[in-house]
Structure 1
Amino acid sequence: MNAKDFVEIDGSYLEGGGQALRNALSLSCILGKPVRVVKIRANRPNPGLSIQNMHGLDLLRDITNADVVGNVLCSTRVEFTPHTILDNTYRVETCTAASITLIYQMALPVLLFAGHSSRLIVTGGTNVAFAPPVEYMQQVLLPNLKHFGAGFDLKVQNYGFYPRGRGNCQLDVQPVAKLNAGQFIDFGRINLISGVAFCAGCLPINIAIDMKKTAQREIHRLWPEQECTIETVKHSRERAQDNGAGITITANTTAGVVLGASALGKKRIDGYVLGSKASCQLTEFIRKEICVDDYMQDQLIIYMALAVGRSRMRTGRLTKHTRTAIHVAEKLTGVKFDVAAEPGGQTLVTCEGLGQLNKML
């Protein structure tokens, strides 16, 4: 293929991690456009394709029967030429704690444009650093995607943590004829705050209880009458073989807004610290009355770019991940995102979508 046939994406742009690669490959599959990604993960301590990137890349290769050059570990340059999106049952065995949710993040928008339903079974890490926990995908991403007329079903068979992983999840995706424009501009009022605090392995249930009590204390300090229901869970050995702990909290409003925040235990696990971290993040989102939290904004960009009509998102200050996602989406789709600062630290992001239709239906 001629070099000029590829859309070239600079992987060192802004965030300089895996965001540019993930979004570029997903859009390449959906649009049928060959893409070349250079300087992959240039701003990371170990540049180039990570094991997680490799699995995601190979998965999209299988889904679209793509021609790929450069899909080797630590490669800083990849050329990807997709063909037809194939619905099927796909399996990914990472044999590490590679993030299951980031692999799903690459494949989900692609499978929405398949001809029939698909299933994606992945083993790896369900709750690992620098990636959305599986609970966030279930409790925050899913309701946000429903604004676009899309959805999924995600089942967790086993939980997996760093360093061994060994989690197992099943994602079922029904295709859509098109994505509707998403509207995330009216905050409404908070009607429920809920969440789950978990621990696993040798860690005692008291850690989960400490997370719950601290998070509830912070919520009730600011809003004494607010309902805040946080479940505490000690995962059984059958569902989680290694040590792990974390908390995910969500806030639901009367206008359909769903915000989320989470914290993950690492080597030294303090339930009070984790509960405080997650609740302070969430309360900051609520106080600003944003409609899309800091961790969701970058994930919605690809859907806004592909949707039929004008999508609007009221969020906080844009993260580097989000600005990178916008850059990649604009370059591959040709759409334009309008970003306007608003009083109170809010940011309004608007995009007239490409209006991509599912050619497989």
Structure 2
Amino acid sequence: MDYTKNAEFIEIDGGYLEGGGQAVRNALSLSCILKRPVRIINIRANRPNPGLSHQHVHGVNLLRNITKARVTGNHMHSTVVEFTPQTLISDTYKVDTRTAASITLIYQVALPVLLFGNKPSRLDVIGGTNVSFAPQIEYMQHVVEPNLKHFGISFELKVLQYGFYPRGNGRSVLDIEPLSSLKSVQLTDFGRLKSVVGWSYCSGRLPKSISLDMQQTAQREMHRLWPENECNIQAFKLSPEKARDNGAGIVLSASTSSGCVVGAAALGDKNIDGHVLGSDASCELASYIKSEVCIDGHLQDQLIIYMALASGRSIIKTSAVTKHTRTAMYVAETMTGVKFETTYDESGQALISCDGIGHSSSFM
């Protein structure tokens, strides 16, 4: 449906619940997809530095370019943005954040939009590949991608260089295939655990022993709990050509017999202890496996926009519903008119469901 003839803005409260960038990203994505003008107020009202940050400004401007939108408030620290999309142009888009702004969060805002284009698109982004308060790039490759496949979504993500806080300098390329509509999903059957894989890395002046410490601690925990299951965690030090600065982290992914993929991760900060990072990530992953959730706590909010747009009824079994997810539901309900329901099964796990609007591409 095209709402461009109705110039009234839908108003989204950017300070709702989580009060971070989630409301901005989802509201702008849905504005572009549905061609519905949106006004976002109280942006990041609950943060120490309210308003748009570098990452959010780049996201707004990227969507402005993709949809030739009329925009006001697209500047640093702005607490109000008005966005009126005009069209949708599939193309190659390049973004250089010149900071360690999260590449994956920039992808989050543009991926849903470019899915409904008329031809394949490419997003070439420079910034932070593995930074705090954002999904690590390996998580997007190995957890987000297989879960989005259930909706019929196809993309390929290549990392050219890794970038860490504070300088960034990472670069990756996301190739997106267009589709006509999204399939609904029913991700409620965990099945049985098949295998755990992982990536334990460090770079710069940090010794490879940190990667090995993360790997060994995580593998030890997995083997202790599930000795019969395969656990293969790669430990490596990134070459200077791949990463110029210091960085360390671990990303784990568990696959099940029913096609579920859940993930967990940990990222090094100033005082890096590989054993602690490996323990943090493996204990989190173990909690998901033990409770047999199909969607982990970091992914649930990212699926809300796709559930709202899909054709038919979607339902996912996940862990405790986060504020990020409740914020995403609020935005999706306000923008699309869908209604999300949250119930709990006999084991106490959350079941999130909705009847999607069945949005279809105007190009197919």
Q: Secondary structure in 2 aligned to 1:344?
A: coil
Preserved contact between residue 32 and residue 113 of structure 2 (Cα < 8 Å): yes
Partner of 1:194: 197
For 1:345 and 1:284, locate their aligned partners in 2 and report how far apart those are by CA, in whole Å: 13
TM-score, structure 2 normalization: 0.98
For 1:141 and 1:158, locate their aligned partners in 2 and report how far apart those are by CA, in whole Å: 20
1:218 equivalent to 2:238? Answer no
1:63 equivalent to 2:66? Answer yes
Letter in 2 for 1:232: A
Q: 1:208 aligns with which of 194, 208, 211?
A: 211
Q: 2:262 aligns with which of 250, 259, 262?
A: 259
1:152 equivalent to 2:155? Answer yes
For 1:123 and 1:2, locate their aligned partners in 2 and report how far apart those are by CA, in whole Å: 36
Q: 2:112 aligns with which of 109, 114, 118?
A: 109
For 2:197 and 2:186, locate their aligned partners in 1 and report how far apart those are by CA, in whole Å: 23
Partner of 1:127: 130
For 1:20 and 1:78, locate their aligned partners in 2 and report how far apart those are by CA, in whole Å: 12
**Identical counterparts, % of pairs:** 60
Q: Secondary structure in 2 aligned to 1:130?
A: coil
For 2:96 and 2:60, locate their aligned partners in 1 and report how far apart those are by CA, in whole Å: 13
**1:184-235, CA deviations, whole angstroms, 9 ceiling, x for partnerless residues?**
1111001110110000001111100000110011112212222110001110
**1:95-152, CA deviations, whole angstroms, 9 ceiling, x for partnerless residues?**
0000000000000000000110001100000000000000000000000001000120
Preserved contact between residue 45 and residue 51 of structure 2 (Cα < 8 Å): yes
Q: Which runs of 5+ in 1 are unaligned?
A: none
Q: CA RMSD in A?
A: 1.2
**1:28-80, CA deviations, whole angstroms, 9 ceiling, x for partnerless residues?**
00000000000000010000000000000000000000000111110000000
Q: 1:269 aligns with which of 267, 272, 279?
A: 272
Give the CA deviation at 1:342. Answer: 2.0
Q: 2:98 aligns with which of 82, 95, 102?
A: 95
Q: Which runs of 5+ in 2 are unaligned?
A: none
Q: 2:244 aligns with which of 222, 241, 245?
A: 241
- Map of 1:307-318 to 2, 5 A cutoff? 307-318=310-321
Give the CA deviation at 1:345. Answer: 2.7
Letter in 1 for 2:253: T
Preserved contact between residue 101 and residue 128 of structure 2 (Cα < 8 Å): yes
For 2:225 and 2:79, locate their aligned partners in 1 and report how far apart those are by CA, in whole Å: 47
Give the CA deviation at 1:3. Answer: 10
Give the CA deviation at 1:360. Answer: 1.8
Preserved contact between residue 200 and residue 214 of structure 2 (Cα < 8 Å): yes
